[in-house]
Amino acid sequence: MTFLDKEYREIITKAVCGKGRKFTKDTHTITPSHRPTSILGCWVINHLYHAKKKSEDTVIISGSYDINVWYSYNDNTKTEVITERVEYTDVVPLSVKDDNCINDEYDIIAKVLQQPNCLECMISDKGGSITVDIEREFVVQIIGETKICVKVKPNWKSDDEEDDFMWDYEMTDDEAEDIRPDFIHHKHKD
């Protein structure tokens, strides 16, 4: 078969050319203005991020969020909320890559699977600072132009019962998630 065969066509289309996922757990140390007696609450807000492609194998996600810690001091007689802005950089490796992308122009989609969230907030052993454990998780997709080859069916008729059945079939979201883009094995060039 050649790609100039009458039965086949090459189609250039945008498709997912790479995917990656990254779970991160960070520990931050916050030093309040008063020596804390107890932790009353901790929450993370104002999460902002953007993604860019670093190399053929990785995407960089740069972001920031505010950690708010409500704590008591002066032997639990007074309270205060301290806020600290945290910046981070996550390197997301691409676990799925299509080496057949046509050019180097990509769109990057980064979705948060787990917003930054406080796992644990405690007073440090020396008592003058607060330690906060934060988790977050991202999934990224690289959208680029690629070429696919399709077989043309020149004698196709719309009134064919079998073909009509195929047009009535709808794919569910669960079925779409089960599609494996790596089912075609690439031959390596020597």
Cβ–Cβ under 8 Å, residues 69 and 42: yes
Which strands form 78-97's sheet, in the order they lie side by side?
Answer: 36-53, 58-73, 78-97, 8-30, 130-151, 107-123
> For the chain, which residues make up each domain, given as ranges?
8-155
- pLDDT tens series, the chain, 190 aa: 445 567 788 888 888 888 999 999 999 999 999 999 999 999 999 999 999 988 878 999 999 999 999 999 999 999 999 999 999 999 999 888 877 777 777 889 999 999 999 999 999 988 889 999 999 999 999 888 888 888 887 676 665 555 555 555 666 777 767 676 665 554 444 4
Does the predicted model carry a pTM greater than 0.85? no
Instruction: Note the Cα 175 to chain centre separation in Å.
Output: 20
Q: Which residue has the tokens 């708010």?
A: 68
The enclosing H or E element of 161 equals helix 161-168
Cβ–Cβ under 8 Å, residues 87 and 95: no
d(CA 55, CA 38): 45
